[in-house]
Structure 1
Amino acid sequence: MSMQTGLSFEQAPPFAQPLRFFLTAPLFLLAAAVLIMLAPTALASRWTLPALALTHALTLGFLAMAMLGALLQMLPVVAGAALPASRGVAASTHFLLAAGTVALMAGFLGADARALAAAMLLLGCGFAVFLAATAIGLRRAVASATVTGMRLAAISLGLTLLLGMALASMRAGGWTPAKDEIFVAAHVGFGLLGWILLLVIGVAYQVVPMFQITPPYPPRLMRWLAGAILALLLLHAIAPLLPAATEITLLAESGLAAGVLVFALATLRLQSRRRRKLPDVTLDFWRVGMASLIAGTAVWLLARLWPAWAGSDAYPLLLGVLFVAGFAVSVVCGMLYKIVPFLAWFHLQAQLQARAGSIPTMKDMIAERAKRWQFRLHLGACMLLIAAPFWPKLLAVPAGIGLALSAVLLELNLLSAVRRFSRHGGRFS
Structure 2
Amino acid sequence: MMIGAGVSRWTMLHLGSAVIAFLVAETLLAAGYADPLDGLRAPATLVAVHLITIGWLSLLMLGALYQFVPVITTTSLFSQRLPILSFCSIVSGLAAMLVGFLALDGVAYAHVACLPIGGALVLTGFILGAINVAMTLWRARPLPLPAVFVAFGLGFLLLTGLAGLCFALAFALPNPPRFLLALAGQGLLLHVVAGLGGWFTLTAMGVSYRLLSMFMLAPDEPRPTSYAALGLTAGGLFLLIASGLFGIAAEHSMAAYEAAGALMAGTGAAFYLADIVHLYRARKRRHLELNSITAAGALALFTAAVAGSGVAAAFGGLERFAGALGYLFVFGWLSGLGLSQLYKIVPFLTWLEVFGKRLGKGPVPRVQDLVDEPRARPWFILYFAAVLLGTAALVFASAILLRFAAVAQLVATGFIALELWRARRPDPNAAPKPMGQGAPLPFARPIPPSNRSTHGG
TM-score when normalising by structure 1: 0.88
Task: Please name the residue that 2:340 is paired with.
Answer: 334
- SS of the counterpart of 1:30? helix
Task: Please name the residue that 1:311 is paired with.
Answer: 319
Map 1:11-410 → 2, pairs under 5 A = 12-14=6-8, 16-39=9-32, 42-44=35-37, 45-86=39-80, 88-111=81-104, 112-142=111-141, 143-173=143-173, 175=176, 176-177=178-179, 179-180=182-183, 181-216=185-220, 218-240=222-244, 241=246, 245-307=254-316, 309-312=317-320, 315-353=321-359, 355-357=361-363, 359-389=364-394, 390-410=396-416
Moved more, 21-30 or 88-97: 88-97
Q: What is the alpha-carbon distance in structure 1 between the residues aligned to residue 413 and residue 65 of structure 2?
A: 22
Q: What is the alpha-carbon distance in structure 2 between the residues aligned to residue 124 and residue 423 of structure 1?
A: 44
- Structure 2 segments unaligned to the other structure (5+ residues): 105-110, 431-457
Judged with a 3 Å threshold, the aligned counterparts in structure 2 of structure 1 residues 405 and 43 are, in CA distance, closer, same or farther, namely same
Judged with a 3 Å threshold, the aligned counterparts in structure 2 of structure 1 residues 37 and 349 are, in CA distance, closer, same or farther, namely closer
Write the deviation string for residues 255-307 of structure 1: whole angstroms up to 9, x where unpaired.
11111122123213321332222242212221222111221122212222322
- SS of the counterpart of 1:311? helix
Q: Which amino acid aligns with 1:105?
A: L
1:355 CA displacement: 4.1
1:91 CA displacement: 2.0
Residue 163 of structure 1 contacts residue 187 of structure 1 at CA under 8 Å; is this kept in 2? yes
Residue 217 of structure 1 contacts residue 266 of structure 1 at CA under 8 Å; is this kept in 2? no
Q: What is the alpha-carbon distance in structure 1 between the residues aligned to residue 79 and residue 279 of structure 2?
A: 38
| Identity percentage of aligned residues | 23
TM-score when normalising by structure 2: 0.83
Q: What is the alpha-carbon distance in structure 1 between the residues aligned to residue 19 and residue 197 of structure 2?
A: 22
Judged with a 3 Å threshold, the aligned counterparts in structure 2 of structure 1 residues 388 and 79 are, in CA distance, closer, same or farther, namely same
1:19 CA displacement: 0.7
Q: What is the alpha-carbon distance in structure 2 between the residues aligned to residue 270 and residue 25 of structure 1?
A: 28
- Structure with the bigger RCO (C-alpha within 8 Å, sep 6+) is 1
Write the deviation string for residues 55-103 of structure 1: whole angstroms up to 9, x where unpaired.
21111111111111110101222113323331x2222222322332233
CA RMSD of aligned residues (A): 2.4
Q: What is the alpha-carbon distance in structure 1 between the residues aligned to residue 266 and residue 87 of structure 2?
A: 33
Residue 366 of structure 1 contacts residue 417 of structure 1 at CA under 8 Å; is this kept in 2? yes
Higher percent of residues as helix:
1
- Structure 1 segments unaligned to the other structure (5+ residues): 3-8, 425-429
1:209 CA displacement: 0.8
Q: What is the alpha-carbon distance in structure 2 between the residues aligned to residue 391 and residue 255 of structure 1?
A: 31
Write the deviation string for residues 112-133 of structure 1: whole angstroms up to 9, x where unpaired.
4133133123212211221222
Q: Which amino acid aligns with 1:214?
A: A
Q: What is the alpha-carbon distance in structure 1 between the residues aligned to residue 126 and residue 68 of structure 2?
A: 18
Q: What is the alpha-carbon distance in structure 2 between the residues aligned to residue 114 and residue 395 of structure 1?
A: 36
Structure ID, larger Rg:
2
Q: What is the alpha-carbon distance in structure 2 between the residues aligned to residue 233 and residue 192 of structure 1?
A: 10
